Amino acid sequence: MPANSSVARCPAGVLNLSKPAGVTSRDVVNLVQRLVHPVKAGHAGTLDPLATGVLVICLGAATRLVPFVQAGRKQYRATFRLGQTSDTDDVTGQVVPGGDPSAITEPQLADALQNFVGTISQIPPQVSAVHVGGERAYQRVRRGETVEIAPRTVIVDAIELLNVALPEFTVAITCSAGTYVRAIGRDLGQLLGCGAVMTALERTAVGPFRIDDVLPADRLNETTLRRHLQPPAVAVSALPRVVLTAAQVQAIRYGQTVPLAAAAGDDAVEHALFDAAGGLVAVARREGNVLQPQIVLPE
């Protein structure tokens, strides 16, 4: 196969894949990579092996847009079990008994969950990919170390109880990037005095990418990949849109600034720049009344 055949077959774009349980996010990326090599592929937000659901993978030049996908609001469906704790905050770790949850009622559970809605301070799990002292936390934990992880501020927009069959219950969660759903369960269990572990997790949305539109990983092949590949512009759909003239497109491609109309982006810092045909040309940063290109996509 000629070295550039994959490039011709698979232009830059974004895939909305469904990750199955029991594999890593990297495993799924590797499936894509084998189909598109030598085109680059990278995912926009890790899912733990336990988790399923939306895994967004960017291809080619669109890999440069990964941070914009990662910044999108996340939606999850998560199931927890009261009365247990775990070193991983889910059932993949060493699960041990917690307190007795038998006296907890559904109204008490619903009230307790509201403590985790809004702007909250959250300590990521010990077994997580957070960097501590130049290493991932989980790498140090695997050596038997106990790590001190600084709390971070995250935003939980909503938690909705979907099903309650105590000691288990299922919730829908909408939250900001960087939120650990299993840590919400851990902290809820501490608040209720009985402990809690996460038993299942499905990511149902990342920004505009929804579970209803996913391509299951087990159906991934050259034909389905091409059919489900979305244009790079989808990755920056949350940014203000600016349509350039032909002369401005050339200026941006040369790294030059272009003026920003007052109404085009209000107070937004980053803007998505398009040509007249609707193709994404660049992502630019507002500097005063001009736009300075930061990421320029190839023609």
Q: CB-based contacts of 166: which residues, under 8 Å, 6+ apart?
A: 82, 101, 104, 106, 109
Distance CA 123, CA 74 (A): 18
Mean pLDDT of the chain: 90
**For residue 19, what pLDDT band results from cuts at 50, 70 and 90?**
very high
Distance CA 189, CA 102 (A): 13
Helix (H) or strand (E) holding 227: helix 222-228
Distance CA 3, CA 215 (A): 27
Burial class from Cβ neighbours inside 10 Å (0-12, 13-18, 19+) for residue 153 reads exposed
pLDDT single digits (tens) 101-125: 999 999 999 999 999 999 999 988 8
**Comma-separated ranges of CATH 3.30.2350.10 domains in the chain:** 5-71+208-234, 74-206
With beta carbons less than 8 A apart as the criterion, state whether 119 and 179 touch: no
Superfamily of domain 74-206: Pseudouridine synthase (3.30.2350.10)
* Tokens 């010990």, located at residue: 126
146-160, 171-185, 280-294: range with lowest mean pLDDT: 146-160
Residue 153 one-letter amino acid: T
With beta carbons less than 8 A apart as the criterion, state whether 67 and 177 touch: no
* 187 carries an active-site annotation: no
**Comma-separated ranges of CATH 2.30.130.10 domains in the chain:** 239-296
Q: CB-based contacts of 89: which residues, under 8 Å, 6+ apart?
A: 125, 127, 180, 182, 183, 185, 186, 197, 198
With beta carbons less than 8 A apart as the criterion, state whether 55 and 28 touch: yes
pLDDT single digits (tens) 214-246: 999 999 999 999 999 999 999 999 999 999 999
- What pairs with residue 171 in β-bridges? 78, 161
The structure's pTM equals 0.90
Q: Which of 48, 89, 90, 187 is catalytic?
A: 48
**Is domain 5-71+208-234 given the CATH code 3.40.50.300 in the classification?**
no
What is the predicted pLDDT for the residue at 129? 63
Task: Give CA torsion, residues 258, 261, 266, 270, to 10 deg.
Answer: -20
Q: Which fold has domain 239-296?
A: 2.30.130
pLDDT (average), residues 24-35: 93
